[in-house]
Amino acid sequence: MPYSDPYNETNRKQRLEAEAASDPRLFFNKKGNPFLGFMRFLRRVPVKKEPIDEKALLSDFSSIASDKIKEGIVVIIITIIAGVLWVLLRFNLISKDIMTVVGLFFMASLIGVTYYFKRKDKKSNRKYTLDDYKNYVIESALSDEVEELVYEPYFGIPQSVFEDLNVMQMGNRYSSTDLITAKYHGVYFAQTNIKIEDCDRENTVYFNGRWIIIDYPKKFSGKVTIFSKKSYGFCNTKKDKKLENIELENTEFNKIFETSASDQQLAYYLLTPQLMEKLRYINQSLNNALILCFKDGVLYVGINNIGGVFAPNYEKKDLNYDINKLRSDFMLISSFIEIMKIDNNVYVG
């Protein structure tokens, strides 16, 4: 298989079970990349990398994208028809018996469509998969910018690690995929997709977006959380009762963010004037979807924008477009790291 990253997973179930049963602190290595701790559970099968045929890669991706679009259109049509039927039932314009029969028919149709496209994908003669395409885009976009690049399409930040932060309502379904981790200008970082739902409350989504972890250049002990006040309308952030609210000298910052800390002095040390101005700018560019948590030497950044770390554009089917978009997205991480390295006077023991 062309996608021959030495971190390929051969037993996903075993990895997930091991993560779920482990202490969240195992996520952090003491040496090297701190965000590869759970990779001890990998069963690695090193494979020599093969050169990528860009023309064949794009051709296969175009075929995959066409199927994705067709599948999406069919699903939308079935969903619209189901919605119309529900309205008819709601206003007693159709009997429950007819609704049940028709509903079962459309449910079966939806399952059949999904099964058809999955079977078609398995039977195809494509040389490359969607994972091959994503991996190639990520390497092309970031390999010149970062070191020690690792991409894991099927894994992300373990739930235990996220839950340990105590910044979000957790619901009853957690998923995290497309983990990218690397080192930029000597600073390690990781980013992933995270989706948190409560399936018992009409599929309420608490968070759906991008989560970034940065190994802070200067170490500190304690915790500081920063929530965009307008983000409450988009996600279910959770106030840590052990923290106290902090008012900072920057009044404009206080209007936009709610800041809490385990120690007031720690908040003053970390939130330098340069960083506060940067956060205001970033939050505005992200439509007030920013969530931050400084905890024990690590910065966590959440962006609740109903988008992932990297999602190929199935309509454009343009390799260069996807590569340039990922490079542009990476500027968010690089800007955080650069401003933190400028604030190199920060140190809290």
Give the angle 155-161-164 at the CA atoms, nearest 5°: 155
The CA distances from residue 72 to 38, 68, 69, 121, in Å, are 35, 6, 5, 15
Q: What are phi and psi of 305, to 5 degrees?
A: -120, 20
Per-residue pLDDT at 1:
33
Task: Give the DSSP letter string of 120-178.
Answer: HHHH---S--HHHHHHHHHHHHHTTT-EEEEEETT--S-HHHHHHH--B---SEEEEEE
Q: Distance between CA 248 and CA 27 in Å, rounded? A: 32
Q: Hey, what amino acid is at 68?
A: K
Q: Say how many residues make up the chain.
A: 349
Nearest to 220 by CA among 342, 345, 332: 345
104 Cβ neighbours under 8 A, 6+ residues apart = none
pLDDT at 287: 77
Helix, strand, coil in percent for the chain, rounding step 5: 45, 20, 35
Beta bridge mates, 305: none
- Spatial CB neighbours of 230, under 8 Å, sequence gap ≥ 6: 256, 288
**CB 326, CB 138: distance < 8 Å:** yes
From residue 188, give the alpha-carbon distance in Å to each of 95, 138, 142, 169, 217: 60, 17, 14, 27, 9
Q: Are 137 and 319 in contact (CB under 8 A)?
A: yes
Q: Say what the pLDDT of residue 40 is.
A: 57
Rounded Cα gap, residues 155 and 176, in angstroms = 6
Rounded Cα distance, 26 and 39, in Å: 10
Q: Quick one: pLDDT at residue 347?
A: 43
Q: Looking at residue 10, what is its pLDDT?
A: 53
Q: Which residues pair with 168 in a beta bridge?
A: 237
pLDDT by residue for the chain (349 residues), tens digit each?
333 444 445 567 777 777 777 788 888 877 788 888 766 555 445 456 678 888 998 888 888 888 777 777 777 777 777 777 767 766 776 676 766 766 676 667 667 766 666 665 555 678 888 888 998 999 999 999 999 888 888 888 888 888 889 888 887 888 888 889 999 999 999 999 998 888 777 668 888 888 999 998 878 899 999 988 876 545 577 778 889 998 988 889 999 899 999 999 999 888 888 889 888 888 888 777 788 999 998 999 988 876 666 778 888 889 999 999 999 889 889 988 888 765 555 444 4
Beta bridge partners of 176: 194
Per the confidence metrics, is the pTM higher than 0.85? no
pLDDT of the residue at 349: 42
Shortest CA distance to 187 belongs to which of 338, 36, 331? Answer: 338
**DSSP letters along 265-295, please?**
HHHHHHS-HHHHHHHHHHHHHTTS-EEEEEE
